Amino acid sequence: MGQSIKVGIAADHGGFEMKQALIEKLLAEGHQVEDFGADTLDPDDDYPDYIIPLGRAVVAGDVERGIAICGSGVGASVAANKIHGVRCGLCHDHFSSRQGVEDDDMNVLCLGGRVMGQAVAWDHVAAFLAARFSGAERHRRRLSRVAELEAT
């Protein structure tokens, strides 16, 4: 893979196993990883407890990119996108994991731990981390409209 970056990752019980597997892969690829929890598999835990600190760390620049995981990915993506400055996409295909960064400057990738296998999840993560925002004027224009909405 490309250059090593600092990645934040968070998951509830629905994504716990996937998170642990992705951390191993990320470290093996030479990335720095900050784990925002859960620290143990607790079937009663709540995804906002982990996803919100992850999103805030991405916005603050404490980590360069975030990976948010819950069972379906839906709750985690909803929570992450409530944080100003987070641009989180729930991805089920390789194309979106790459293009979400290139066109939409996605800074948090969301995955569903119960809807895909670990090899597919890693393919998403690798595509997400290798991608860079294109900076094209039309994409900046669209993102500025979203930023305006956040500011109101």
**Sites of contact with ligand RB5 (CB under 6 A):** 12, 14, 47, 70-72, 74-75
**Number of neighbours of residue 54 by Cβ within 10 angstroms:** 30
Collapsing DSSP to helix, strand or coil, 100 comes out as: helix
State the Cα–Cα distance between residues 69 and 112, nearest whole angstrom.
6
Q: Which is nearer to ligand RB5, 34 or 48 (CB)?
A: 48
Residue 1, judged by CB atoms within 10 A of its CB (0-12, 13-18, 19+), counts as middle
Could you tell me how many residues make up the chain?
152
CB of 12 to ligand RB5, least distance (A): 5
Pairwise CA distance, residues 50 & 132, whole Å: 26
Q: Least distance in Å: CB of 149 to ligand RB5?
A: 24
Read off the amino acid at residue 99: Q
Nearest distance in Å: CB 40, ligand RB5: 15
Q: Which is nearer to ligand RB5, 8 or 75 (CB)?
A: 75
Greatest extent of the chain over all pairs of C-alpha atoms, in Å: 45
Nearer to ligand RB5, 44 or 148 (CB): 44
Closer CB to ligand RB5, 50 or 128, in the complex:
50
User: At its nearest, how many Å lie between ligand RB5 and the CB of residue 110?
Assistant: 10
